[in-house]
């Protein structure tokens, strides 16, 4: 039996978090950096708890005006402090609600930077691992995020994107480039089916890449996000694929 996890980034002010929580199996919750606040976090965690959706933290650069999508230059200890503050907030609320966080997924520019720069990624993940050793890294497959998570001993969930174009080296095409976001529903569905069944992704230049990702990100901040997510889930299930929050890969001794 083939199974795949569907995750969405939530708590970002789109207004349809509850709808997406009826479709996805994992929820990455913005925790006050690029978006999100305590009431939103608490609400999403309670809905996750009621519906059995796996919950994770979604920290990023503290830059809500630009939605965390621009790389900020600052001392590393300041950045690590920002990440700690976001994790403290979301974990405190998770403890209050009584629903544990299972993973961390980095957001936006911070995610892209860690996907490209191994030493930077190791520093970020080591800080997270030191705070919460049991939490997994939801990491872009075939990127430096995967190598960094393994280096520091974090459990690992490999991720791919349904609606983002890839470069031939497995990274996401910058949003500033034409074609970076895929809007064609049929193309997104075909990509998800190919990934789930064959473990393949096609880059923007036509290069076919192997991927071991078992979690697919469905962005919650794009137009028609709920309808797209529902159509993706229906297509996967219609092809006999189970939607489930698969267990992470555990670190090797």
Residue 188's φ and ψ, nearest 5 degrees, are -65, -45
* Residue 148 near residue 169, CB atoms below 8 Å: no
pTM of this structure = 0.95
Rounded-to-integer distance, Cα 128 and Cα 122, Å? 10
Instruction: State residue 230's pLDDT score.
Output: 96
Query: For every one of its 253 residues, what pLDDT tens digit does the chain have, with 9 covering 90 and above?
Result: 899 999 999 999 988 999 999 999 999 999 999 999 999 999 999 999 999 999 999 999 999 998 988 899 999 999 999 999 999 999 999 999 999 999 999 999 999 999 999 999 999 999 999 999 999 999 999 999 999 999 999 999 999 999 999 999 999 999 889 899 998 999 999 999 999 999 999 999 999 999 999 999 998 777 788 999 999 999 999 999 999 999 999 998 6
DSSP single-letter state for residue 211: -
Identify whether the C-beta of residue 10 lies closer than 8 Å to the C-beta of residue 37. no
Phi, psi of 7 (to 5 degrees): -120, 155
First and final C-alpha spacing in the chain:
29
Q: How far apart are CA 74 and CA 71, in angstroms?
A: 10
pLDDT for position 80: 97
The crossing angle, in degrees rounded to 10, of helices 225-238 and 185-198 is 40
Question: Which residue's structure tokens are 């929050």?
Answer: 245
So what's the pLDDT on residue 253? 65
Residues 9 and 55: beta-carbon distance below 8 Å = no
Residue 176's pLDDT is 86
């Amino acid at each position: 039996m083939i199974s795949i996890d569907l995750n969405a980034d939530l708590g970002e002010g789109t207004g349809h978090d509850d709808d997406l929580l009826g479709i996805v199996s994992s929820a990455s919750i913005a925790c006050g950096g690029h978006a999100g606040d305590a009431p939103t976090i608490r609400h999403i965690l309670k809905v996750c708890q009621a519906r059995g959706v796996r919950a994770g933290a979604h920290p990023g650069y503290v830059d809500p005006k630009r939605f965390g999508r621009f790389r900020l230059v600052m001392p590393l200890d300041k950045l690590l402090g920002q990440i700690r503050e976001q994790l403290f907030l979301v974990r405190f609320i998770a403890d209050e609600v009584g629903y544990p966080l299972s993973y961390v997924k980095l957001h936006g520019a911070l995610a892209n930077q860690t996907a490209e720069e191994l030493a930077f990624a190791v520093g970020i993940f080591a800080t997270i691992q030191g705070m919460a050793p049991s939490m997994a890294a939801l990491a872009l497959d075939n990127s430096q995020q995967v190598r960094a998570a393994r280096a520091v001993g974090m459990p690992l969930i490999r991720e791919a994107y349904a609606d983002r174009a890839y470069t031939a080296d497995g990274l996401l095409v910058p949003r500033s480039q034409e074609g970076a976001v895929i809007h064609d529903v049929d193309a997104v569905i075909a990509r998800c089916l190919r990934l789930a069944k064959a473990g393949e992704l096609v880059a923007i230049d036509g290069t076919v890449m192997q991927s071991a990702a078992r979690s697919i990100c469905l962005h919650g901040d794009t137009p028609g996000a709920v309808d797209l997510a529902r159509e993706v889930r229906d297509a996967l299930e219609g092809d006999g694929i189970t939607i489930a929050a698969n267990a992470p890969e555990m670190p090797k001794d």
